[in-house]
Chain A
């Protein structure tokens, strides 16, 4: 695997002016957000709530269903796209995604444990956690996986990215095996729940979930820009970055922890939504180049816009039922991405 797309020195033949890209993405997000507030199975329009006397159920559609869902979509979309960009910078590999630090496998195992074994908890604990059992377990599982990997890969204050990658694969296999055992003992309904969880959805968004996930997602997003300079320097190699005065270990630790926090929280509230973390940074690198200082904020904008748009499609496609958002992301995203790859093959060189 070459690191061509990340090499800061690579001459960009078809870059777009940054201001154009930024304004374009902001507009895209604004349009997607407006659509997300305006479109849904019920056909209720947001201004109706002001213009006419609405029922409590109608107000609930706008303020308790669409609004928290929009905000959650923005944060989760931004977090997944930025996590992808951070991972690709950290591993110096355009195919890296948050799955490499074990968050996905750990969170998946946590969710499976909650779905299959949740019924075994004492009634008092179950009543306390209730609907939040799966998100809480998924987040805890994601974090536990990252901490184990980080511990394994760190020796005398140095974190080996290669060891982390290998250990991540091994831990993924282990989590997969435990998940397999639980799938074996799961009943029919639990299997259904597992399948839907894996396909991801923002349909469960509400203010409680948002209040729990938002601080973590926002903290991760806020930390990302501080890593940009370090990741740019590390694209030239850790040794070179060290000589340039970049605190390499701090950057690594910061990137791993913020990715773990963001992905863990995102997966916990929305299930398995793939694809954003790879596609968004790729398309943006083609447009504005590989520098992280531009890439990270633009990835946040683009990721948010795409997820909000996909979520709007998810709830309209088979209304009043709903499609899992993972299906929409892959169904629309994959052909577009393939087309970009074909059109820009000469530039991309991967």
Chain B
């Protein structure tokens, strides 16, 4: 049995720290950040969750971020893999590490501070620390401004029910500790669902008790007619939803999932967009 791990490690140690020029980006927000740092020319491939900026979708797709295949990843010839926390499976990562490929795991988090940290980690891995610091500072200021504006709205905060999916009338909602809850709070709303963590299927009673003022649903981009993507009417005619304030006033806000929940460089923009949707200005 041959042990390329040792050879790979030796080579890695023997060379001075050169900037890697063939970067594989795993995770939508990671890829967005690489592009925001102006380094997208160094990307050689992406994962399925990378959809923005749209130009990146022209790169080869190595598959879903949690289901990477070792040879698939090696075939695009990366010398650096930037991956979002949770990428895997672990066996594949172990094989890649043994093959001597540099890997940097980018921490996940749903706070403005975590977004900045993500940018700094990615910038450091790409050797563009200064650009990273600048982008992180700029984005931090933008997020702070957007949140300050959103949370300064007078009057009661709208109760927002985030719906992840709709399968045959069974709605999946976002509870506490979710990225959706964090975004709702940053944009000046209140998560209508309390008392359970994570994304769960909702009973009609739970929807009635949540009494949302606004429904926030995922939109997978224009013209998407795939299963699970439904029309506003599918939600508004749902018997439990119809009885809530959101149902009576037909308030459904649609946002693209990666934009809303990615916690990448578009976070400030997403907060402003969600804020505008939650507090419509009187015409």
Interface residues of A (CB under 8 A from B): 40-43, 56-57, 59-61, 63-66, 130-131, 184, 187-189, 192-193, 196, 201, 203-207, 209, 315, 318-322
Contact = CB atoms under 8 A, between A and B. Distances in A.
Contact of A57 (B1, B8, B200): B8
Interface string B199-234: 111000000000000000000000000000000000
Given A59-B4, A131-B91, A320 B73 contact: yes
A194 to B, nearest CB: 11
B61 A321 contact: yes
Interface stretch (B95-103, B115-123, B124-132): B95-103
Contacts of B8: 56-57, 60
Interface of B: 1-2, 4, 7-8, 11, 45, 48, 60-64, 66-67, 69-77, 86, 89-92, 94-95, 98-101, 164, 198-201
B72 A56 contact: no
Given A184-B201, A188-B199, 9 more contacts: A43-B75, A57-B8, A61-B74, A196-B64, A203-B67, A203-B92, A206-B94, A320-B60, A320-B72
A56 B95 contact: no
A-B pairs with the 8 shortest C-beta distances? A321-B63, A41-B75, A320-B72, A42-B75, A131-B90, A60-B99, A322-B69, A204-B91
Given A187-B198, A320-B61, A320-B73, A207 B90 contact: no
A313 to B, nearest CB: 13
Contacts of B77: 57
A192 B74 CA distance: 23
Nearest to A318: B63
A199 B220 CA distance: 25
A64 B66 contact: no
B71 A321 contact: no
B1 A320 contact: no
A322 B63 contact: yes
A320 B66 contact: no
A209 B98 contact: no
B97 to A, nearest CB: 10
Contacts of B7: 56, 59
Contacts of A64: 2, 4, 70, 95, 98-99
A66 B95 CA distance: 11
A322 B74 contact: no
B4 A63 contact: yes
A124 to B, nearest CB: 17
A32 B4 CA distance: 26
Contact of A203 (B70, B86, B198, B201): B70
Contacts of B11: 56
Given A203-B70, A320-B62, A321-B63, A40 B75 contact: yes
Interface SS of chain B: helix, strand, loop or mixed? mixed
B182 to A, nearest CB: 15
Contact of A207 (B1, B45, B62, B69): B1
B71 A41 contact: yes
Contacts of B89: 131, 193, 204
Given A41-B69, A192-B66, A56 B100 contact: yes
B179 to A, nearest CB: 10
Contacts of A209: 91
A318 B60 CA distance: 10
Contacts of A205: 91
A60 B75 CA distance: 11
Contacts of B4: 56-57, 59-60, 63-64
A284 B2 CA distance: 38
Instruction: Name, among A187, A188, A189, A204, the residue most crowded by chain B CB atoms within 10 Å (CB to CB).
Output: A204
A266 B98 CA distance: 25
A41 B67 contact: no
A193 B87 CA distance: 11
B18 to A, nearest CB: 15
A204 B92 CA distance: 6
Given A42-B74, A57-B100, A57-B101, A320 B91 contact: no
Contact of B62 (A61, A189, A321): A321
A240 B271 CA distance: 78
A189 B86 contact: yes
Nearest to B10: A56
A205 B71 CA distance: 11
A323 B8 CA distance: 29
A233 to B, nearest CB: 44
B91 A206 contact: yes
Nearest to A134: B89
B71 A315 contact: yes
A65 B95 contact: yes
A189 B66 contact: yes
A319 B98 contact: no
Nearest to B164: A188
Given A56-B8, A203-B92, A66 B71 contact: yes
A57 B97 CA distance: 10
A198 B31 CA distance: 29
Instruction: Name, among B69, B94, B101, B164, the residue most crowded by chain A CB atoms within 10 Å (CB to CB).
Output: B69
A230 B98 CA distance: 48
A196 B67 CA distance: 8
A139 B48 CA distance: 31
Contacts of B45: 320
Contact of A206 (B66, B75, B76, B95): B95
Contacts of A59: 2, 4, 7
Contacts of B70: 61, 64-65, 203
B133 to A, nearest CB: 31
Nearest to B100: A56
A203 B70 CA distance: 7
